Amino acid sequence: MPKPIRVTVGPANADFVGDSHLALQAAVDHVAEHGGGTVAVLGGTYRMGNAVHLRSGVRLAGAGERTVLIKNPSRTTRLAEDTDWYDRQATVEDPSGFEAGGGILLRARDICGGREPNVSQHTVTAVDGNVLSLDSKPGRDMWVTHEATASTLFPVVSGKDVSDLVIEDLVIDGNASENGPLNGCYGGCVFLQDCERVRIRAVVARNYNGDGISWQVCHDVTVEQCRSLNHRGLGLHPGSGSRRPVIRGNVVRDCNVGLFWCWGVQHGLAEDNDIRDCRQYGISIGHRDTDNVLRRNRVVNSGIAGLFFRNEEPSCRGAHRNVVESNGIENAGSAGKPGIGIDLNAAVEGVTLRGNRIVNPAGGNLSTGIRIGPRVTDLTLEGNEFSGVAQEVEDRRAGGA
């Protein structure tokens, strides 16, 4: 096997000289074409006009907080002509802000009336007047009659259909105040789709108008010792169909939800994470998220509940057989709406709540420690402690307290 290579990227005195996505992408492609290795990103601020698209076998390693990748401000314009699913170009009303090598997101209402919009992401390969050439077909119809737009929206670090990745020791800034929103199923400071064997370590993901770190249909992803801060969406988003995620020792602050288990995330582990000041829930778990372990996490000052089990219908889609143990949950709710430590008002079976400590501090708003819904079955409830909580356990099951 070829020996892994190492190249440097930096504003000066590097193998690849530059301070934008172009230099980073050139280095990633070079390393991948030589069998894999390390792209060492030297200290500096890198202005991102597109995602850096990772490739299999590449380690993207910064110099800690001296390496900052910041997303450029976004621009949005309407399409001037239809782009059909098979086209390789988009004609826009205003091409300013779009450039060859830059990222572009096409979005339109679904022509069949679906609730979710049509979304596709591309790289612009050429600009000719107001015609933007695309690196791939959108696969969806983007029609002017359905409010089709083009935006310079994209994740900052991305991977799709690749494996054996490492992302570590750098800062990724989504520049939320100068960017439009992008759903966490399509973007984030880090966004991965259909990847395997990924390690994200000591990354600071901050200020994205969407999610911090999101991975969809990805297996064996480890996120550890990261900080996910000040996002308008989710802090950590193990996404649909992901298996065996390990989420360990991370700090999450000021997001809508700190740790959001999406659909069908199974056999995962979340431990020793510190999650605070989330506007809705510290942790949320739901649709077919089964056989996971949540332990020794600390969840403080959640807007509604520290841990929320989403109700799914029918009950076969519930968050079954999850173990929640030795977590510390402190304060939840607001002055106008008292909060809940663990809200288990859902149709679930085989859940274990063991050895958790739920605290309402002086002046806090957490009024119910654990709420158990009427459709909870085969629940193990043992060794949980409460302090300052008006109602320790609200059991709505037949015969419950």
- For domain 5-70+154-395, give its CATH number from 2.60.40.1240, 3.30.70.330, 3.20.20.70, 2.160.20.10: 2.160.20.10
If pLDDT is split at 50, 70 and 90, which confidence band does 114 have? confident
Query: How many alpha carbons fall within 13 Å on the CB side of residue 84?
Result: 2
- Count of C-beta atoms within a 10 Å radius of residue 126: 12
**Residue ranges per structural domain of the chain:** 5-70+154-395, 76-151
Q: Tell me the pLDDT tens digit for each residue of 58-81.
A: 999 999 999 999 999 999 999 999
Mean pLDDT estimate for the chain: 97
CA pseudo-torsion sign 9, 11, 17, 22:
positive
CATH class of 76-151: mainly beta
Instruction: Give me the mean pLDDT over the 131-152 stretch.
Output: 97
Per-residue model confidence (pLDDT) at position 1: 58
Closest CA to 72 of 96, 93, 88, 55: 96
Q: Which residue has the tokens 């992901």?
A: 242
CA separation for the pair 376, 350 (Å, rounded): 9
Strands 5-10 and 190-193: unpaired
Closest CA to 245 of 230, 233, 261, 226: 261
CA dihedral 175, 180, 181, 182 (to 10 degrees): -90
Q: Tell me the pLDDT tens digit for each residue of 159-201.
A: 999 999 999 999 999 999 999 999 999 999 999 999 999 999 9
Return the amino acid letter for 182.
L
